[in-house]
Structure 1
Amino acid sequence: MAVLTATEIQNTYAEALKLQTAGNREAALKIYLDIIKDHPRVAEAQYQIGVIHMAENRFTRAIPHLEAAAQLKPGEGAIWKIWTEAVALGGDAAAEETYLRLLKSAPVPVNIKLALQDRFGARRSSTRPATRGVPPAEMRRLLGMMEASRPAEAEQFAARLLIAHPGSAPVLNILATAQAVQGKAAQADAAFRKAIAADPGYAEAHDNFGRFLIDLRREDEAVRHFREAVILAPGLPSALVNFASALTRSGNSEPALVLLERAERAGVDSAPLHMAIGNVRMRTKNYAGAEEAFARALEVSNGKVIEAIGMLAQAQARIGKDDEALANFNRALELDKDSPVATAGKATLLQAFGDFEEADVLFRRSFELDPDNGENYRVFIASHKTKPGDPIIDQMLRQYENPRLSVTDRMNLGFALAKALEDTKDYGRVFHYLDEANRLMWAASPHNMAARRKVVDMTKSAYADFDWHGASIEGATDYAPIFVTGMPRSGTTLVEQIIASHSTVAGAGEVGEAAQSAHRFLADGKNARAVGEIPAAEIADLGREMERILRARRPEAERVTDKSIQSYMHLGLIRLAMPNARFVVVRRDPRDNLLSIYKNKFPEDTHQYAYDQRELVRYYGTFVEMIDFWRELVPDWFYEVQYEELVANPEEETRKLIAACGLDWEDACLSFHENKRKIETLSVYQVRQPITKSSVKGWQRYEKELKPMLDALREGGYVAD
């Protein structure tokens, strides 16, 4: 952007503000960032950037822009208000120090300044609600009733106190809590609201009300109160944990971790804290760290938190400690046969090993224990072949229409219903639920195609103009993994299952570390190192690091497969670092491939392009571009499998595949569906069945509904008709 005049800045700012007001925050953000790139002293743009980041729960990113705005216009109360909130929600010690130092000299009223200072000092961990003259001894007596688990008595006593001291916020808070414990939801709701109305700055009331709302599955409303509690008392332990947990459930793991680390630094060492840390680590795929956190939650609670045992088992299952995981699921169920976490977790583990019959029983039990949990239905349906008249359909439809259902649960149920209806050949109703499920996913986590485009261009630039065949890496490992890669839902799990059925090969599933290691190795901030400029010794070290990771997964195996979708991005570098590695790229008719992607929900923070038909095609184009790139440079370094040819001629194509992997033929590769290894992908059921052609040309059933995708595929030249 050229340097703007004052009038141009004003007009550009107005354009961005219009977009922001209309709800198009990201487009507005881009314009504001363009403004401050050359005009950093435009306080209004800095302020609005902070506002947008705060609205998107990017608290840490908001702080420097709000600081800049406050320094430019130190007398603006609106700037101080939201900067205070940003520091309370996402600030570390350094951010607080800067904030307090600038506040000290800011031209704001003294009473406001003192109140803001106290928020990070005397009132950091608790607030002082308006008691309306309730004697301290009476408050202690009321609290004692609750601590002694006498909520009915506490309710009656609180009601008497309120007659003498109407509007006492802490008494109203305890009254609401006592009513909630007794299941008096309507009365508790009203009492919590009165407590907050009596003293809007009462952090503990916001926190308690949030927990009450969570129990009622009113997640969005609860999050607002947890957030307000942390704003009012940035060190209130329960509020930090509760808000972080809510952020984690909504997919905002980064700000959640900031809050939890703050609680840890303050010396909190509670089971709820470690449970919350474990949940964040599960969401960010740090399963070993999650295992550690859940184990600590058990330790500090003396083994009394049964949910921690179930979550510990889930973490162990994700890192391949399957025997320990199963033992812990059973341990949790022995302590509480009605544990929803252990019931659903054990069902999922059994499903991964192909024990669909026992998993079916446990899943159905999980529906009774946790009827609003849409994810349990979606995971169950993946291995359940629904038949016409199956009562599971009506059961899911009733839950789907439940007005209390959270957005996340409705989204999961939408995917489950679409799959069940397709199973029963009720094709006319499939997209009613499928489009809505995808819309909800897209709204929660839209894909940034510009970022993807940048990564592809950067990667190609780093790998261009290099003599791949002439390069030799001294000291490179002779380890020989087999990487199976391609678009998701293209048949990669099937191909891996075939290869892993060979007696000398073990399937490691979606390890993913090779592609991630290669990307980190290549990238240097915003740019990428040209491969020709990287010392051979570093590349050899990269190969040995990849070997260490893969060997840790299956240490007993002679050969191992890694079905990592993104391996194709760094095919050349991985092969250079591991010269004996083999690559298999799986291709499928993009109409069937992209439809299959659109029909499924993927793990959080992965494949975010999957939930919009045209975005799917744009992303598919970058996949084709990268494969074409490698085919031009190193066509002999990978073998391509066409899914349609594999299912049409299984023996002929399987023999070619096994030979391309450098393996001797074994008949077991044709009986891949009998392999009992663990499968943790969306194809958990399909790969346990013999090869079928049933999914070929499945897109033709939905030509009308798929028009955006089909039009985009034709426009891109990816299909001829």
Structure 2
Amino acid sequence: MTFPAIDDIETLLRTDPEPDQARPAIERFLAAWPTRHANLRLLARALRKDGLRAQAALIDQAILLAASRTPLVSTAIRAFAAGRHGDAEHLVRDALAHGRENMAATLLLAEIAAAAGLDEEAVKLYRTGLSAMPDDHEIKFKLANALFRLNQVTAAIAIVDDIVATRPDDMSAALLRLTMLGQIGEYDEAERGYGESLSRCEDFAMLWVGYAHLLKTSGKISDSIAAYRRALMLEPGLGEAWWGLADLKSGVLGEADIVTIEEELRHSGDNAYQALHLHFAAGKALEDARQYPASFKHYARGNAIVAAGANHDAAAQSDETDRTIRLFDQPFLADRKGAGHPSRAPIFILGMPRAGSTLIEQILSSHSLIEGTAELPYISLLAHRLVAERWSSGSVRYPDVVAGVDPAALAALGELYLEAAAVHRKTDRPYFIDKLPENWLHIGLIHLILPNAIIIDARRDPMACGFSNFKQHYAKGRSFASSLGDIGRYYSDYVRLLDHIDTVLPGRVHRVEHETLVTNTESEVRRLLTHIGVEFEASCLRFYENARPVRTASASQVRRPIDPTSGQAWQPYSQWLSPLADALPQRA
């Protein structure tokens, strides 16, 4: 059936020089016939065929808005915004089960999947949305991000290139592309891209921040500082730039900066995102000035903002650790002995964040046979993939799902990891490093799929490590770090699991105690290289001369000789750290 109102809308869209004036007519149509989305979709398709893509996109947006106002979807949107992702998922699935097209429900389900780390499902759902709304740049943007997280870099960059081609002034898309290039190690191309973008849009402060991040990664610290300062000239309250300077850990923030940051905090209002960066920056600047009470107050306030938006469940984390210990017992591992991919190339450095893993990586990557890459996400992506394949049933958890993997399939999973990691490899050295600390959560899976890989546990004094996490603002993830008690419990879970692995797989993990490494460096480095199976090279002791890019929070620290006093930074704060101490395992 054809509705006369459709003809009126088409006339408006084809003849009116201001397409937005057609929006009220589209909304009246949807209000009168809320189930007739298909009629408008056909009109949008016809408009696109005739090159009227902006007008077609107007229809798409109106349909999306109408769909988001339906009772189930609007309730689901509110639940998702409040962090109740499980409730949101149930509501969205109910909406989709009704059988009518509801693109708002489909896209919200994509958001839920992405938030759960199920990016393969998110990609499918975003592609469904894009098939109905091919000119929606927001969907393209989110799809590109999901593809990038899945290591489908070529496809992700192609989508961003499409956004940039149709919207050349979209600096957010340009920034995303440059960020992707930097994260896969294409630093020279990324630096050229920043230069080109800044020549066209030198007043976009976040572009300067991205450029500063890249320069820090490349070891160009003075240029990085200048870029952060340029961003602050444009936006004095830009929290990311202030934190970028503080995170250089070089004492670059002075008394005048503290005054400015405090002033900007007073004007940050309801902008929690800016405020948390400013609090962490103030905490570091005041720590350098030895104003410890004021410093801790800012660290605590910044973490309170993070905790308010975080969803860390310490009990669930401990439960997963318990289930991991139960699953990976000696009989289970013995049944799978000889399975997995035989490669000896990967060297996994895992443990707590801020435990010295970057230092170990820098030392090892100074060896002629070992390549440093980055904190690679691919082991956790494989774990998510195993769960995602059974997501629809809702009955499988990690790591329990690993028990259902056929031993013959373990080698294929190892191959998938190696293929993904290859994107980050720039040399033909026989070994490469993956130093994502959180891989401790997947140590059993690593052993099964790559039984010959080297596994190194970067261990640090729990108080020093715990406080270092508390005062570090992480761009994403690591929500446990916003609570001193949660940090202690997380550390305890980590130690429990590694102790278990030492029992069921004696000698499988090589442990490097940070305090021993910084006080007796040469003997520890020799011991480490012997474990890997390579000859000692003196260059490993001159790791600070290594010009390789480093993307972690320790990027500037590992370009300097070892500071044996760095482990004492927590002591001036000891009076406030009892929640951490109480949650930690008994100290040796």
Instruction: Report the TM-score when normalising by structure 1.
Output: 0.63
Aligned pairs (5 A) from 1:83-162? 94-95=96-97, 97=99
SS at match of 1:684: coil
Counterpart of 1:358 in structure 2 is 223
Counterpart of 2:529 in structure 1 is 658
The reply on whether 1:553 has 2:458 as its aligned counterpart is: no
8 A contact 2:254–2:285 mirrored in 1: no
Alignment match of 1:266 (pick from 132, 140, 162):
132
SS at match of 1:385: coil
Residue 626 of structure 1: how far off its partner (Å): 0.4
What CA distance in whole angstroms lies between the structure 1 residues aligned with 2:577 and 2:191? 42
8 A contact 1:353–1:678 mirrored in 2: yes
SS at match of 1:508: strand
What CA distance in whole angstroms lies between the structure 2 residues aligned with 1:305 and 1:467? 53
Question: Relative to structure 1, is the Cα distance of residues 321 and 642 closer, same or farther in structure 2, using a 3 angstrom cutoff?
Answer: same
The reply on whether 1:339 has 2:204 as its aligned counterpart is: yes
Counterpart of 1:143 in structure 2 is none
Residue 652 of structure 1: how far off its partner (Å): 1.6
Residue 470 of structure 1: how far off its partner (Å): 8.3
The reply on whether 1:671 has 2:545 as its aligned counterpart is: no
Residue 359 of structure 1: how far off its partner (Å): 0.9
The reply on whether 1:311 has 2:176 as its aligned counterpart is: yes
What CA distance in whole angstroms lies between the structure 1 residues aligned with 2:352 and 2:296? 22
8 A contact 2:455–2:508 mirrored in 1: yes
Residue 337 of structure 1: how far off its partner (Å): 2.0
AA of the residue aligned to 2:82? E
Counterpart of 1:454 in structure 2 is 319
Alignment match of 1:494 (pick from 332, 352, 359):
359
Counterpart of 1:30 in structure 2 is none
SS at match of 1:586: strand
Residue 493 of structure 1: how far off its partner (Å): 0.8
Question: Relative to structure 1, is the Cα distance of residues 306 and 409 closer, same or farther in structure 2, using a 3 angstrom cutoff?
Answer: closer
SS at match of 1:329: helix
The reply on whether 1:594 has 2:460 as its aligned counterpart is: no
AA of the residue aligned to 2:470? Y
Residue 386 of structure 1: how far off its partner (Å): 2.5
Question: Relative to structure 1, is the Cα distance of residues 277 and 399 closer, same or farther in structure 2, using a 3 angstrom cutoff?
Answer: farther
AA of the residue aligned to 2:450? M
Alignment match of 1:642 (pick from 485, 493, 513):
513
What RMSD over aligned residues (CA atoms) do the two structures have, in Å?
A: 3.8
Deviations 1:124-167 (A, max 9, x none): 9xxxxxxxxxxxxxxxxxxxxxxxxxxxxxxxxxxxxxxxxxxx
The reply on whether 1:440 has 2:305 as its aligned counterpart is: yes
Aligned pairs (5 A) from 1:624-639? 624-639=495-510
What CA distance in whole angstroms lies between the structure 1 residues aligned with 2:268 and 2:118? 24
Counterpart of 1:699 in structure 2 is 570
8 A contact 2:240–2:274 mirrored in 1: yes
AA of the residue aligned to 2:184? I
Aligned residues: 506
Q: Which runs of 5+ in 1 are unaligned?
A: 1-45, 66-89, 101-119, 125-229
Counterpart of 2:343 in structure 1 is 478
SS at match of 1:583: strand
Aligned pairs (5 A) from 1:425-436? 425-436=290-301
Aligned pairs (5 A) from 1:565-644? 565-604=437-476, 606-644=477-515
Deviations 1:229-286 (A, max 9, x none): x8xxx99xxxx99xx99xx99x999999999767634334154553465567779997
SS at match of 1:506: strand
Aligned pairs (5 A) from 1:10-89? 53=79, 56=82, 58=84, 61-62=87-88, 64=90
Residue 334 of structure 1: how far off its partner (Å): 1.6
8 A contact 2:340–2:448 mirrored in 1: no
AA of the residue aligned to 2:248? S
Question: Relative to structure 1, is the Cα distance of residues 339 and 259 closer, same or farther in structure 2, using a 3 angstrom cutoff?
Answer: farther
8 A contact 2:209–2:227 mirrored in 1: yes
Deviations 1:617-657 (A, max 9, x none): 11111101101110101121111111111111111211112
8 A contact 1:374–1:409 mirrored in 2: yes
Deviations 1:540-566 (A, max 9, x none): 222222222223321523210110213
What CA distance in whole angstroms lies between the structure 2 residues aligned with 1:467 and 1:58? 36
Worse overlay, 363-372 or 333-342: 333-342
8 A contact 1:354–1:685 mirrored in 2: yes
8 A contact 2:120–2:385 mirrored in 1: no
8 A contact 1:434–1:599 mirrored in 2: yes
8 A contact 1:346–1:359 mirrored in 2: yes
What CA distance in whole angstroms lies between the structure 2 residues aligned with 1:58 and 1:290? 29
Greater C-alpha Rg: 1
Q: Which runs of 5+ in 2 are unaligned?
A: 1-71, 391-395
Question: Relative to structure 1, is the Cα distance of residues 503 and 708 closer, same or farther in structure 2, using a 3 angstrom cutoff?
Answer: same
Residue 310 of structure 1: how far off its partner (Å): 2.6
Question: Relative to structure 1, is the Cα distance of residues 630 and 91 closer, same or farther in structure 2, using a 3 angstrom cutoff?
Answer: closer
Residue 412 of structure 1: how far off its partner (Å): 0.9
Higher relative contact order (CA 8 A, sep 6+): 2
Residue 290 of structure 1: how far off its partner (Å): 4.6
What CA distance in whole angstroms lies between the structure 1 residues aligned with 2:179 and 2:290? 34
The reply on whether 1:370 has 2:232 as its aligned counterpart is: no
What CA distance in whole angstroms lies between the structure 2 residues aligned with 1:279 and 1:92? 27
Question: Relative to structure 1, is the Cα distance of residues 305 and 551 closer, same or farther in structure 2, using a 3 angstrom cutoff?
Answer: closer
Residue 712 of structure 1: how far off its partner (Å): 2.8
What CA distance in whole angstroms lies between the structure 1 residues aligned with 2:307 and 2:154? 29
What CA distance in whole angstroms lies between the structure 2 residues aligned with 1:254 and 1:602? 25
What CA distance in whole angstroms lies between the structure 2 residues aligned with 1:532 and 1:286? 28
8 A contact 1:487–1:565 mirrored in 2: yes
What CA distance in whole angstroms lies between the structure 2 residues aligned with 1:267 and 1:531? 38
What CA distance in whole angstroms lies between the structure 1 residues aligned with 2:274 and 2:372? 32
Instruction: Report the TM-score when normalising by structure 2.
Output: 0.76
What CA distance in whole angstroms lies between the structure 2 residues aligned with 1:663 and 1:703? 41
What CA distance in whole angstroms lies between the structure 1 residues aligned with 2:523 and 2:89? 61
Residue 354 of structure 1: how far off its partner (Å): 0.8
What CA distance in whole angstroms lies between the structure 2 residues aligned with 1:530 and 1:257? 22
Residue 392 of structure 1: how far off its partner (Å): 2.1
What CA distance in whole angstroms lies between the structure 2 residues aligned with 1:325 and 1:51? 36
AA of the residue aligned to 1:300? T
The reply on whether 1:684 has 2:547 as its aligned counterpart is: no
SS at match of 2:536: coil
AA of the residue aligned to 1:483? F
